[in-house]
Amino acid sequence: MGLSTSQIQQYHEHGYLVLEHFLDAKILAAAQAQLHLHYPTPAIYHKNPSAYPEFSASQFAGLVNFPWASFDLNRIIVSDDLLELVEQILETGDIRITKGELWAKYQGAINYDQMFHRDFGNHTLVVPREDHRWKELTTFIYLSDVTKGNGATALIPRQHTDHIPLGSRYLEDENEFEDHVIFIEAPAGSLVLYSYDVFHRGVQIDTPGGYRFMMLADYARRDAPWIDRHAWPHHGGRKEMQEFIESINVKQRNLFDIPPPGHPYWNAQTLKDMQIRYPDMDLTPYT
């Protein structure tokens, strides 16, 4: 698949890129069919919102961290097509996955409006490099149609804010950039690539009965360990994580910091004990 030179240039200059209908239709349909494992359908929610008070607790109440309850969901963030684009943007084949989230929003649950902000504040304890060295890549994967009326993220293309120091997380005067704001609208199955130094914000869902389902995944170069969001070993005891690690390939496991074949970590003892921890994992490549 891959990105063209002009698409890569747009990403670096504007800080974002939208690829409509990125997911294969069958993969999208399979993922959508499994959302019920984590969320009520929009029809069920809107029929009786009071039955789901948890979604009114905060803007982020609809977040569910990776791994999810179905491989049809989990496999998307390690797909070959997606990783190819990530490697192009980050300019290396040695990458890590630093975040995986599902996010559901329902009209009327809570006010989803936010201030314009840059995401680096909770992705790293340092600041982005102006020359984009040691990059980070954030992705949105739309699992429903996303329009301005049902929560399309508002974003200011980076060229309009490049003069603002990279240590600044919030815009002081949002009105100054009013004419430059765009809304990232796209159909289900679309992929949004953006950088954590781009100003953006969540918006209210105004469409009656509206909703938004998204998958979020972040990636970083392996030589930038200061960029991270989720600690994967924290989920190591979960059945979903065991099944995921057993099901994916060597390259995909390396995204989660499992040492690659040939690494000195692997010896007779670690191979034997990994087979105990992951009975259905093919350890042949590591021997």
Asked if residue 234 has pLDDT above 90, the reply is no
Q: Are 123 and 136 in contact (CB under 8 A)?
A: yes
Least confident of 21-30, 137-146, 221-230, 245-254: 221-230
Cβ-contact 200, 114 below 8 angstroms: no
pLDDT of residue 237: 85
- Predicted confidence band of residue 35 (pLDDT cuts 50, 70, 90): very high
Sequence-separated (6 or more) residues with CB below 8 Å from residue 110: 55, 56, 57, 58, 59, 61
- Tens digit of each residue's pLDDT (9 = 90 or more) over 159-206: 999 999 988 999 988 889 999 999 999 999 999 999 999 999 999 999
Among the listed residues 100, 18, 34, 107, the one whose alpha carbon sits nearest the alpha carbon of residue 64:
100
Whether residue 129 is predicted with pLDDT greater than 90 in this model: the reply is no
pLDDT value of position 235: 85
% of the chain with per-residue pLDDT over 70:
100
User: Which range (42-56, 116-130, 134-148, 262-276) has the least confidence?
Assistant: 116-130
Q: Of 14, 1, 22, 13, which is closest to residue 192 (Cα–Cα)?
A: 22
Sequence-distant (≥ 6) Cβ neighbours of residue 252 within 8 angstroms: 78, 83
Checking if the pLDDT of 31 tops 90, the result is yes
The CATH classification number of 5-232 equals 2.60.120.620
Q: What is the pTM of this model?
A: 0.92
Judge whether residue 1 has pLDDT over 80. no
- The rounded mean pLDDT for the chain is 94
What pLDDT score was predicted for residue 230?
84
Identify the H or E element spanning 46: helix 42-47
Domain boundaries, the chain: 5-232
Give the pLDDT of residue 148: 95
Per-residue confidence band for 131, with pLDDT thresholds at 50, 70 and 90:
confident
pLDDT higher at 277 or 76: 76
Res. 34: pLDDT tops 90 = yes
Q: What is the pLDDT of residue 210?
A: 97
Residue 41, phi then psi, degrees to nearest 5: -65, 155
CB of 161 closer than 8 Å to CB of 199 = yes
SS3 of the chain: helix, strand, coil, percent, to 5: 35, 20, 45
pLDDT of residue 132: 84
pLDDT at 213 over 80: yes
Contact 11, 191 (CB under 8 A): no
